[in-house]
Structure 1
Amino acid sequence: MSRILVTGAAGYIGSAFCKEGLERGFNIIGIDNFSNSSDQSINFLMESKQHNFTFSEVDLCKDLESLREIFVNNDINYVVHFAGFKSVIESQMHPKMYWDNNLESTKNLTRIMLEYGVKNILFSSSASVYGKSNNQPVSEACKLKPMSVYGATKEANEKFLEDLSTKGNLKTISLRYFNPVGNIQMMPVNSPRQDSKNLMDNIIDVCIGETKELNIFGDDYKTSDGTAERDFIHIQDLIDAHFESLKYFEQLNGYEVFNIGTGNSVSVKNIIKTFKEVNSIEFVVKISDRREGDVPICYADNSKAKNILKWEAKKDLREMCLDAWRPYKK
């Protein structure tokens, strides 16, 4: 079976990919430096799937020799690159740190890939590259106008990988994620840092008593109910898209990019209402001022992924809300 190197293997999406890959019979080599996550998920994977999972603590920006050793000792077929700093808020406070880390890690990774003739890389990108687009739903052809340093580093990595791929050095697929939520069954909860939390993380926090109330930032947008609208996607559907993408490498020459979202626009008030209903739980909601940089609406045109990858999301909003709360139910 194919061998996959997974960077950022300890994170929310990376660890979920590792678990799914192991269950599908792939040999997984995970690396992470634990800058954004703990070793909880790695320990779980090591204990449950020792025969085809290995892990090394590696910093892609600093440990070039450790990375090279992994390529020397393993016949790697694919690289799935999740690693990178991911907080929009932090990126605005420490832009140089984000530019240095997120680009240098990709440059070092691809340098070693080219040294050892590994050509296939699946890159974890983000819908943040679109910024405030007037075209909704957004397609892959929309102009990229990131509004944060984080989003700008994703765009820069895409362009770097596209350049290497169009010259024939690599084959790259970039997946632009929209808003992943929920949990993979049987996986330990992978709680993000405070400055990386999304709406669902904040809902969970108020439900478990970490915070007293949930803030809705703005209810005066020109949307269906005045609150911002986003494309929420279940983490399982997101992970499935990665495995459909791996199949596509067989016919890919050069570079390709896909939106990975449901194609449905869901308001903040709607997801709160659904979460309360399906989980029979109540919590205090407070309307606050809009946050700088928030866009009124952003959701995916996912027709390209449907047509080419033969992938589409299967889980609905109710399932997302149920699975997000399931690990916390007593």
Structure 2
Amino acid sequence: MANVREIKERIDSINDIMKITNAMYLISSSKLKKAKKSLEATVPYFDQLQSTIHHILKHTPEFEHVYFDSRENKPEDKKTYGYIVVTGDKGLCGSYNHNVLRLAEQEMSKHKNTCLFVVGQVGRQYFSRRRVTIDGEFLYTAQNPTLYRARSIAETLTDLYLKERLDEIYVIFTKMITSAKMEPEVIRLLPMERERFKTAAGRTPHHDAVFSPSPEKVMDHLVPNYLKGLLYGVLIEAFSSEQNARMTAMDSATSSAKDMIKELDLLYNRARQAAITQEITEIVSGARSQQKKKN
């Protein structure tokens, strides 16, 4: 059995760690609330954008646009697929990063020609260690998702798509379904699909519309803004999932620390009792020895 001093040092060490895990839990909770509030403030605007795009597609059934071009005439082995992988900038969040990276590897293995774009330091370090070529990095975005950063990513990828350097673009992130359930998900950004906008059918009244100067020009303006909003939602969703995962991990760590302290307290009391008993025994033995000498 360890002595009293060693057990006391272990208890103090665990108490210090428990303070850190509890503080990280509170910080993640605060960040999660802030992120949700930011997303809710922008949802109405981007919902209206989606409704407007649906409105254009509905009134122009024969409408064709570069953003909806699936490039079916291009051979599969000549197509290049772009993947944006959204991870965190640090760990201590359970399996959050691992699940996203595993899904990214599975998706990228399906195609011959791929381009990788990474959001988050964990993803960058992971693929760098495996000598996977990273075609683009978006630094400081995972911990601070903003509309400006979302627009920067959207403009970069849209430019590559329009120049036909990328034929399809996907984003891989973690979607927070409930506070207790999160799943990695893949969304195709470009080319866009008409079916995606059918869910917006009931959001706008049915009436005739005139698009000036043309549906194509209107779509040229709407789609980049829509992609910016979609990416912003993805970044916020991933950030919220990371904070939620970290809250769960830190809460579990704090609970484990409390259990360890309870066990160590029991060992401490036993060691202290054994030490006191030993001291009493030594005192009694010494007293008896002195008594014998006197007799």
Note whether the superposition's TM-score is higher than 0.5.
no
Report the structure, 1 or 2, having the larger strand content. 1
Q: Which has the larger radius of gyration?
A: 2
Which of structures 1 and 2 has the larger relative contact order (alpha carbons within 8 angstroms, sep 6+)? 2
Normalising by structure 1, report the TM-score: 0.28
Report the structure, 1 or 2, having the larger helix content. 2
Normalising by structure 2, report the TM-score: 0.31
